[in-house]
Amino acid sequence: MAREQFGICAEANLHGFVFLINVLDGHHALLRVQLARLHALIQRLSDQFSESNLSAVIAVGAGYWDSLYPSARPQELQSFPPLVVDDLDMPASPFDLLLQIRSDRYDVLHLAAQQCFQLLQPHVEVQEQIHAFRYMDGRDLTGFIDQPGAPKGKRKRELALVSEDNDPLFAGGSYLHFQRYRLDLNRWQQLTQNQQELIMGYKKMDGSFIASAQLSGQSHAVTAALTSEESRVLPLLFQNMPYGQLKVQGMLTLGFSADGRAYLQWLKNRMGQSGQQNYDLLLDYVQADCGAAFFAPSISFMEQEAGL
C-alpha cells in the first residue's frame, strides 16, 4: 500500500513556510534521490521534537514533472491556466517544486527548513520563501473563521488522496493547487461588521450561516461552496494560512485533491464562469498574484523512482 506524505492530511499548525523552487538544469536524476530522502529527514526531526507537530509536503510542478519523472505522469496533472473574467484576474506563475513545512514551534520549523535545503541546495534555486502563521484560532485576516465545517479525520484522506481504483501508480498522492491572495485590509476594515458578514455569508463570531433571507448568491459562502454545477461534491482539502507584513498581507491557499480538476472548477465558480451569473464578492477585496499546479506523489513512488 502506498505511503502518502503525512503533511497532506496533517492538522493545522501555528507556523508554516512555503518555498517556491526552480531546479537547476541537468540535476533531475540527483534531485530524484534527494526528494526521496526528505521524508526520513522530516520524520527524524518529528520524532526528536514530537511536541512540535512537524510535517512537510513536497510537490512537483505540472510543467516540470516530465523532466523529473519521465516514466509516468498523473492522469489529471495540468498546468495552472491564467483565468480572466471581466476585471477579475487569476495569474499563473509556474514553479518546478513547492515545499511546505509546518510546525507548532518556529525554532523547529527553522531547523527543518535549514536541513531540507542542505539536502536540496546543490540542485535548486529558491524563488520565494513565504512565512505563514495561524491567526486568532483559525481565522484569516478578514477576521472570519477560515473554512467553517472543514472536513476531519478519515474524510480528509478521502478528499485529498488519489485512490488505488482511480490511478494505482499514483495512489496516495495528491493534486495540489497553490494561490497567494493579497488582502486590501484598509478597504476591508472600512466596512461595518454587518457589511462584511453579507459579503462572507457567515457570522463573524462563530462562522454560522447568516439568515437565509439575507444570504446573497454572490456571498463567499455560496460561490465558494464545494459543489459543482451538477451538485457533485468537489473533493478539496484546504490548508490555508495567512501571511503578511505591515504593508502586504493576505492568504496562502493550498488546495489538495484526489481529482486534478476540482480546484479549477471551484475557482471558476467563484469567478462566475460556471453557469453562475455572479462572482464572489470577496474578490473585490482580495487579489491573487500567484497561482501554480503541482502533484505531491506518495513516499512509495518517490523511493521507487529514486531506486531506494
Q: Flag whether pLDDT at 85 surpasses 60.
A: yes
Q: Flag whether pLDDT at 31 surpasses 90.
A: yes
Asked whether residue 256 is assigned to any structural domain, the reply reads yes
Single pTM value for the model: 0.96
**Summary mean pLDDT of the chain:** 95
Average pLDDT on 183-211 reads: 96
Number of domains in the chain: 1
Asked whether residue 6 is assigned to any structural domain, the reply reads no
Asked whether residue 10 is assigned to any structural domain, the reply reads no
Phi, psi of 198 (to 5 degrees): -65, -35
Asked whether residue 8 is assigned to any structural domain, the reply reads no
Asked whether residue 1 is assigned to any structural domain, the reply reads no
pLDDT band at 200 (very low <50, low <70, confident <90, very high): very high
Q: What is the 3-state secondary structure (H, E, C) of 115-161?
A: HHHHHHHHHEEEEEEEEEECECCCECCCCCECCCCCCCCHHHHHHHC
Average pLDDT on 38-59 reads: 98
Asked whether residue 186 is assigned to any structural domain, the reply reads yes
Q: Flag whether pLDDT at 141 surpasses 70.
A: yes
Q: Flag whether pLDDT at 228 surpasses 80.
A: no
The three-point CA angle 135-141-145 to 5° equals 70
Q: What is the pLDDT of residue 166?
A: 92
pLDDT band at 295 (very low <50, low <70, confident <90, very high): very high
Q: Which residue has the higher pLDDT, 112 or 149?
A: 112
pLDDT band at 86 (very low <50, low <70, confident <90, very high): confident
Structural domain range at position 166: 15-306
Asked whether residue 2 is assigned to any structural domain, the reply reads no
Average pLDDT on 44-56 reads: 98
pLDDT band at 276 (very low <50, low <70, confident <90, very high): low
Q: Which residue has the higher pLDDT, 147 or 14?
A: 14
Q: Give the list of residues 6+ apart from residue 242 with CB closer than 8 angstroms, or none.
A: 132, 133, 134, 135, 140, 141, 249, 250, 251, 252
Give the bridge partners for 290, in sequence order.
180
Q: What is the pLDDT of residue 308?
A: 81
- Structural contact between residues 24 and 123, judged by C-beta atoms closer than 8 angstroms: yes
pLDDT tens column, 177-187: 999 999 999 99
pLDDT band at 277 (very low <50, low <70, confident <90, very high): low
The three-point CA angle 297-234-207 to 5° equals 110
Asked whether residue 148 is assigned to any structural domain, the reply reads yes
